[in-house]
Structure 1
């Protein structure tokens, strides 16, 4: 019997359906660098990096060694009461890396979700205001606060109301919404007018605590906000005493070819949330911010028994070592340019490839109907399933966007192999050789 299927059948009797977005019947047994291996012993190129949570690749020897050595010394003693050695080291390193001038402080969490909850708490505590402005298409997490900020899927609000009050959503400046022949300047003006509409009609600016944004949306489709738009948002926030908070959970730690996605904009946030790849996928997050903002809450306003524990912070210190010592930020930028060129070649070759967006080793590739140029979710599902059959893991976003986020340790040969696999899948789609898998209706967000 197929070992993947055997394990999945065992799990099926116990796992709640809300726990997994379905794609492939795959059980990951091991990983190394930019590859993973399933329970049947089949190896795949990983073009997903565990949802951008393993930027340093799978089981990097330096990270593994740090975890093993720390586990032999101390697994856990709650930082809610006492510090631990790797946590004290990591705190200084992260505040030094923060793209915020002046004194910077941080707090620990277990996931990006609770980090974004902390952003809400801190913003409200510091400003004494209740409202939080966020954006359509965002994914900020699955706790009640972070889920209230999110709008990437109806299943993040369906059956769970009331969500957190005081949350106001405005349209993200998504390039997919740009009108035919509309200039970027006109697009920015139109999107900023939509941002301003609540403030002009029912939302007093003096009662808004924070604007929370992904400078480059991850699960929303790998979409970058225009520079001019973010400049306007930043200026508006400063004029009205509103904090600007950026979510770097998906797009931080070298993913975009810079340390942080906000570095592309030369704008300093007041608060930022990080997670996912911070500890190479172990459960650790943090919020970094201006000292006076971070001082707005007293304990136990935001602390957790296991956040900042010795093993996760040891892994995070090792992760930063790897990013710095192996120049992964620059590697993400340079390999990202090669990936962009590769996808642009495919775009010229196949009429169903629409827009190609690439920021570091971090891309969204639209699959569209060649005649109408409208999103084609069925073709996208056929493609990702064929890519899986050919030996690579790639998933879809928003139904019709290929998500390209391989580990930053990927080699150029592996990148070329990945592009060859995607090209073969595209050839098969163009030749009408592909059919939808039986569970196609269940696949994807």
Structure 2
């Protein structure tokens, strides 16, 4: 080991920008295997975050590691901006084959989910000749200027950074906690669709809108699925007005919800483009936009060219990732273990009144922690819980202050999942008994 967690963090603190990390726990990770992480002091943690859903195949999967090693010994880098390489060419074909849209599609490479979402803006404007982009509050699309402008989850993503990209209009997302206690699903959907249409009826000409960009399931917004009826309404609206429909699959794709893509949880909805990254290459820096051929041919080089995008090593990792998901049946595994996790948290909700909504889509969950009396979000209780879970040997973080983000690697074993439930049993019981205290750095923790 190279030092303690606190020693290494103290050394890093002098030279590391505050804006580059959302603070949670004082831990320095050293290595990982499957669903287990180990810090520099040798402490082990069950990983319930999967590197922000970037390691769906787990840590150091042998198939992925071997593919990286073999490719690095063959060709580490030559920019696809000028020449093709055999590995990336194979990956383009594989991705096109699993695209959630019919008809011919094409792929464009990037290095991160952020630049992939920037690329969606480029292609949409080029293809339609229109300027406006519509996205949703609560969304997280990335940290480059275009993707940051699309986002609506944190004030620190706009504070001191203006002016942002012009032409982006945000509409409210129908998050489940916004539904009133006595409100029917139909009324809730109609109420939010009315709010969706208001800009189009007052200041935003539909015939000047290029694309609607959505997360079918908002990730950092709270692991919240868009109501299917609302999805259908905005999809039909887009088609009626010649507006493209794009889905950000960076967080929710690559098997996370038990399907290749989160949009496949909505039968009959075919996007015009999707963005993917994170778990595409098991956490290595690779992204892609997959879109209908006519749209993807609307730009000429070098409008979306990056020197290292489509790197052969990251592409080899992505090919291996697809192999692992297919051969180890991780889609079915996510569905099966997700159902087990949902049953556990639903049972815990019946036992503990501080557990509000439970949302689980495969191994992809958001658990609301609320004040038992008022039902209001309880950020203090949430912080107590995530810190106690960390002390007991698992890593989970919060979203929106009061939502537990449950996204373990899809390779987590049932035995490990049972260990996780035992940890939560203890943490929940201790919170209920008033035994948990806030950590010293509580005010600095979280989004």
Give the alignment's TM-score, normalised by structure 1: 0.99
Correspondence for 2:331: 329
Correspondence for 2:209: 208
Runs of 4+ in 1 over 2 A off after TM superposition: none
Which of 349, 352, 358 aligns to 1:350? It is 352
Please identify, of 174-183 and 101-110, the stretch whose mean Cα deviation from structure 2 is larger: 174-183
Correspondence for 1:60: 61
Could you tell me how far 1:349 is from its partner in structure 2? 1.3
Correspondence for 1:152: 153
Show CA shifts across 1:122-155 (max 9, x none): 0000000000000000000000000000010000
Structure 1 regions of 5+ residues with no counterpart?
Answer: none
Q: Does 1:381 align with 2:383?
A: yes
Which of 358, 361, 364 aligns to 1:362? It is 364
The secondary structure found in structure 2 opposite 1:272 is: strand
The secondary structure found in structure 2 opposite 1:302 is: coil
Correspondence for 1:189: 190
Correspondence for 2:431: 429
Correspondence for 1:341: 343
The secondary structure found in structure 2 opposite 1:50 is: helix
Separation in 1, partners of 2:364, 2:416: 15
Could you tell me how far 1:285 is from its partner in structure 2? 0.3
Separation in 1, partners of 2:22, 2:36: 21
Separation in 2, partners of 1:443, 1:349: 27
1:124-203 correspondence to structure 2 within 5 Å: 124-203=125-204
Q: Does 1:14 align with 2:15?
A: yes
Correspondence for 1:312: 314
Separation in 1, partners of 2:146, 2:425: 41
1:229-268 correspondence to structure 2 within 5 Å: 229-266=230-267, 267-268=269-270
Could you tell me how far 1:344 is from its partner in structure 2? 0.9
The secondary structure found in structure 2 opposite 1:229 is: helix
Show CA shifts across 1:52-106 (max 9, x none): 0000000000000000011111100000000111101000000010011000001
The secondary structure found in structure 2 opposite 1:366 is: strand
Show CA shifts across 1:184-223 (max 9, x none): 1000000000000000000000000000000000000000
Separation in 1, partners of 2:187, 2:305: 45
Separation in 2, partners of 1:386, 1:349: 19
Please identify, of 431-440 and 53-62, the stretch whose mean Cα deviation from structure 2 is larger: 431-440
Correspondence for 1:289: 291
Separation in 1, partners of 2:291, 2:98: 12
Could you tell me how far 1:423 is from its partner in structure 2? 1.3
Separation in 2, partners of 1:106, 1:173: 31
Give the alignment's TM-score, normalised by structure 2: 0.99
Separation in 2, partners of 1:319, 1:391: 27
Separation in 2, partners of 1:378, 1:240: 45
Show CA shifts across 1:367-405 (max 9, x none): 000000100000000000000000000000000000000
Could you tell me how far 1:241 is from its partner in structure 2? 0.3
The secondary structure found in structure 1 opposite 2:31 is: strand
Separation in 1, partners of 2:23, 2:34: 24
Separation in 1, partners of 2:430, 2:325: 37
Could you tell me how far 1:2 is from its partner in structure 2? 6.5
Correspondence for 1:300: 302
Which of 403, 406, 419 aligns to 2:405? It is 403
Separation in 2, partners of 1:74, 1:45: 35
Separation in 1, partners of 2:10, 2:75: 36
The secondary structure found in structure 2 opposite 1:5 is: helix
